[in-house]
Amino acid sequence: MNVEISGTYLNGYSKPDYKDKESGEVKQGDYIVQIQQTKSLSNGAVQNEYLDIPIGRELEKSYKDKKLGDMVRVPCNVYGENYAQIKVGKAK
Protein backbone atom coordinates (compact mmCIF):
# COMPACT_ATOMS: atom_id res chain seq x y z
CA MET A 1 0.00 0.00 0.00
CA ASN A 2 1.25 3.50 -0.76
CA VAL A 3 0.41 6.55 1.33
CA GLU A 4 1.40 10.19 1.26
CA ILE A 5 2.60 11.97 4.39
CA SER A 6 2.41 15.75 4.47
CA GLY A 7 3.99 18.13 6.91
CA THR A 8 6.35 21.03 7.41
CA TYR A 9 9.78 20.56 5.84
CA LEU A 10 12.62 20.72 8.35
CA ASN A 11 15.64 19.26 6.55
CA GLY A 12 16.87 16.88 3.89
CA TYR A 13 20.17 14.99 3.85
CA SER A 14 21.95 12.06 2.22
CA LYS A 15 22.89 9.05 4.30
CA PRO A 16 26.40 7.64 3.78
CA ASP A 17 27.05 4.97 1.19
CA TYR A 18 27.17 1.42 2.52
CA LYS A 19 28.45 -2.02 1.56
CA ASP A 20 25.82 -4.66 0.76
CA LYS A 21 26.45 -7.61 3.11
CA GLU A 22 25.52 -10.26 0.55
CA SER A 23 27.15 -8.97 -2.63
CA GLY A 24 29.89 -6.79 -1.14
CA GLU A 25 28.86 -4.06 -3.59
CA VAL A 26 28.97 -0.43 -2.41
CA LYS A 27 25.51 1.12 -2.65
CA GLN A 28 24.37 4.70 -2.40
CA GLY A 29 22.66 5.66 0.85
CA ASP A 30 19.08 6.89 0.94
CA TYR A 31 18.02 10.51 0.99
CA ILE A 32 16.15 11.44 4.18
CA VAL A 33 13.38 14.04 4.33
CA GLN A 34 12.69 15.32 7.83
CA ILE A 35 9.21 16.72 8.43
CA GLN A 36 7.12 17.93 11.34
CA GLN A 37 3.43 17.25 11.80
CA THR A 38 1.15 18.80 14.37
CA LYS A 39 -1.74 16.93 15.93
CA SER A 40 -4.49 18.44 18.08
CA LEU A 41 -5.24 16.37 21.17
CA SER A 42 -8.64 15.95 22.81
CA ASN A 43 -7.67 18.28 25.69
CA GLY A 44 -6.85 21.12 23.28
CA ALA A 45 -3.07 20.67 23.47
CA VAL A 46 -0.96 20.42 20.33
CA GLN A 47 1.53 17.59 19.86
CA ASN A 48 4.43 17.89 17.43
CA GLU A 49 5.63 14.73 15.72
CA TYR A 50 8.93 14.57 13.84
CA LEU A 51 9.51 12.03 11.07
CA ASP A 52 12.64 10.99 9.18
CA ILE A 53 11.38 9.50 5.92
CA PRO A 54 13.79 7.66 3.60
CA ILE A 55 13.13 8.24 -0.09
CA GLY A 56 14.74 6.83 -3.20
CA ARG A 57 17.52 8.88 -4.75
CA GLU A 58 15.41 9.32 -7.89
CA LEU A 59 12.99 11.44 -5.78
CA GLU A 60 15.74 13.51 -4.13
CA LYS A 61 15.56 16.34 -6.68
CA SER A 62 11.94 17.01 -5.66
CA TYR A 63 13.11 18.11 -2.20
CA LYS A 64 16.52 19.74 -2.87
CA ASP A 65 15.01 23.23 -3.36
CA LYS A 66 12.73 23.10 -0.29
CA LYS A 67 13.29 25.53 2.56
CA LEU A 68 12.60 25.27 6.28
CA GLY A 69 8.87 25.74 6.82
CA ASP A 70 7.69 24.70 3.33
CA MET A 71 4.74 22.30 3.24
CA VAL A 72 5.71 19.02 1.54
CA ARG A 73 4.09 15.72 0.61
CA VAL A 74 6.22 12.58 0.75
CA PRO A 75 5.11 9.34 -0.95
CA CYS A 76 5.72 6.28 1.23
CA ASN A 77 5.14 2.55 1.41
CA VAL A 78 3.51 1.17 4.53
CA TYR A 79 4.41 -2.09 6.13
CA GLY A 80 3.55 -3.73 9.43
CA GLU A 81 1.16 -6.19 10.98
CA ASN A 82 -1.62 -3.80 11.96
CA TYR A 83 -2.62 -0.21 11.35
CA ALA A 84 -2.22 0.76 15.01
CA GLN A 85 1.54 0.55 14.49
CA ILE A 86 2.16 1.66 10.92
CA LYS A 87 5.78 1.70 9.88
CA VAL A 88 6.82 4.01 7.07
CA GLY A 89 9.07 2.62 4.38
CA LYS A 90 10.87 4.05 1.39
CA ALA A 91 8.72 4.92 -1.61
CA LYS A 92 9.53 2.87 -4.71
What is the pLDDT at residue 69?
94
Task: Assign 57 a pLDDT band (cuts: 50, 70, 90).
Answer: confident
What is the distance between the alpha carbons of residues 28 and 59, in angstroms, rounded to a whole number? 14
What is the pLDDT at residue 3?
80
> Is residue 35 predicted with pLDDT exceeding 70?
yes
DSSP assignment of 25-48 equals: -EEPPPEEEEEEEEEE-TTS-EEE
| 48, 40 Cβ separation under 8 angstroms | no
> Is residue 78 predicted with pLDDT exceeding 80?
no
Task: Assign 54 a pLDDT band (cuts: 50, 70, 90).
Answer: confident
Poorest-pLDDT segment among 11-15, 63-67, 73-77:
73-77
What is the distance between the alpha carbons of residues 73 and 32, in angstroms, rounded to a whole number? 13
**Measured CA angle at 39 (ends 41, 62), to 5 deg:** 175
Q: What is the overall mean pLDDT for the chain?
A: 85
